[in-house]
Amino acid sequence: MTKEMKNEDVMSLMNDVHNVFFLKYRNLTPEDMSDGKWNEIVNDVGALTEKYKEFTHRTYKDGQMQEVLTAVPMIMWFLEILERRLNSSEKSNS
């Protein structure tokens, strides 16, 4: 069952995803990834997803409406930013 997000919930989600999660990993280098850092990132993503699983929103995909977890698109966006930065770093070090 979907729970309506209050202003405090939105603020908490944005804080956790950006100010805690993203800022924790934003300066990673390819060398950092050799010590199980990816597993740590995946665990943090799982914890965030679990924490905010009661909040969903509707989206349309392939002409059908679907319920998705509100936190997931934001988390994935930041993960993509981190991945692009790491890939860019690896290419410039080659």
Residue 77 lies in a domain: yes
Residue 52 lies in a domain: yes
Overall number of domains in the chain: 1
What pLDDT is attached to residue 93? 67
For the stretch 20-29, what's the b/e string if a residue is b when 16 or more beta carbons lie within 10 angstroms of its beta carbon?
ebbeebeebe
Residue 80 lies in a domain: yes
What is the mean pLDDT for each group of 10 consecutive residues in the chain (94 residues)?
88 97 92 83 95 92 90 93 85 68
Residue 65 lies in a domain: yes
Residue 1 lies in a domain: no
Residue 75 lies in a domain: yes
Domain span at residue 24 reads 7-93
